[in-house]
Structure 1
Amino acid sequence: MNALTAIEKVHAVASMLNNKKAKDITAIEIKDLTTLGDYFIIASGSSSTQVKALCDAVEDGMTSLGFEPLRVEGYQSGMWVVLDYTEIIVHLFYEQTREFYSLERLWADAPKVALKLED
């Protein structure tokens, strides 16, 4: 059994996304606001192809750590892909789609997680 905590998974996924040049990687803590999970990770890609590549990178990276998503939604369109890892839910957006849905604004009460990402 893999012993990563939810916050360790958040940092691992953020690093995976950063390595694939995701834009504006954000993590918010939602555990006190909803039963959906503990954290949202939100990131953008500049094309549907990049969004799909980001999704693939997260899936491959999490699989290598011993975690499989409960479900993946939106992969075909590449406009908004959701990967559900129970405690963490990863939202990967095409840039304009992210602006339209503005999850960060909808979840403005959720505290941001400080991510240490290397350039």
Structure 2
Amino acid sequence: MPEALRAALACAVDSKAVGPVLLDVSEVAGYTDWVLLLSGRSDRHVGGITEAIMRSLKDAGVRVIGTDGLQDHLWDLLDYDDFLIHVFYHPVRLHYDLEGMWTDAPRVELGLPEDVMDTAGLAQLTAPDPMPGFRGQEFAGYDDEFDDEFDGEDEGEDEGEGEDEDGDEDEDEDEDLEAAAPS
């Protein structure tokens, strides 16, 4: 785990973030190596956690390269290139279930006290209506990684098999090449 990520986690715990989960996505994602997920009790709490992390890392000389969600603090996303930090209002975290999305990414044992890891005290929180939109489309990931629907077309396979751009069979071109070849 990078030292800056370790510092961010410590700052989040000091800010009373709950249920931290650290995923090692280095083998399954092409845009980052680590994903830290955290929960807060309210939008103000989420904002406080986020601001404390950003301030702490900035003071350490670590620059955030992208943010999303900072206007409502229901799901704040911080991109530090090698790692992403998601700070959720807990019902939003449950709704989007990023842990479930990243089941193929190993979880890192954090060795934190049970009271920090336990999210049972957040079960009574009310989900926002409407839910905030999915975060991160503007940075990280691939252009189509967050598409909701698959359109059924594969990139680069627009032409029918055996046809070239003008619709002629490829065999005709092969015959022309053979006839033009020197003997």
Same fold per superposition (TM over 0.5):
yes
Deviations 1:10-40 (A, max 9, x none): 2211111000000101110001101120000
- In 1, the alpha carbon distance for the partners of 2:104 and 2:4 equals 22
Question: Which residue number in structure 2 is paired with residue 3 of structure 1?
Answer: none
Q: 1:31 aligns with which of 5, 23, 26?
A: 26
Question: Are 1:7 and 2:2 an aligned pair?
Answer: yes
Question: Which residue number in structure 1 is paired with residue 79 of structure 2?
Answer: 84
Question: Are 1:94 and 2:89 an aligned pair?
Answer: yes
One-letter code of the match for 1:84?
A: D
- In 1, the alpha carbon distance for the partners of 2:108 and 2:30 equals 18
Higher strand fraction (1 or 2): 1
Which 4+ stretches in 1 moved above 6 angstroms? none
Question: Which residue number in structure 1 is paired with residue 43 of structure 2?
Answer: 48
Alpha-carbon shift at residue 62 of structure 1 (Å): 0.4
Deviations 1:76-103 (A, max 9, x none): 1111110000001000000100000000
How many positions carry a matched residue from both structures?
114
- In 2, the alpha carbon distance for the partners of 1:73 and 1:22 equals 19
- In 1, the alpha carbon distance for the partners of 2:26 and 2:104 equals 11
One-letter code of the match for 1:49?
A: R
Could you tell me whether the CA contact under 8 Å between 1:43 and 1:91 is conserved in 2?
Answer: yes
Structure 2, unaligned runs of 5 or more: 117-183
Q: 1:70 aligns with which of 60, 65, 72?
A: 65
Question: Are 1:105 and 2:100 an aligned pair?
Answer: yes
Q: Which has the higher contact order (CA 8 A, sep 6+)?
A: 1
Cα RMSD, aligned residues only: 1.3
Higher Cα radius of gyration? 2
Moved more, 108-117 or 83-92: 108-117
One-letter code of the match for 1:16?
A: C
Alpha-carbon shift at residue 71 of structure 1 (Å): 1.2
Question: Which residue number in structure 1 is paired with residue 139 of structure 2?
Answer: none
Alpha-carbon shift at residue 9 of structure 1 (Å): 2.3
- In 1, the alpha carbon distance for the partners of 2:31 and 2:93 equals 20
One-letter code of the match for 2:78?
A: L
Identity %: 27
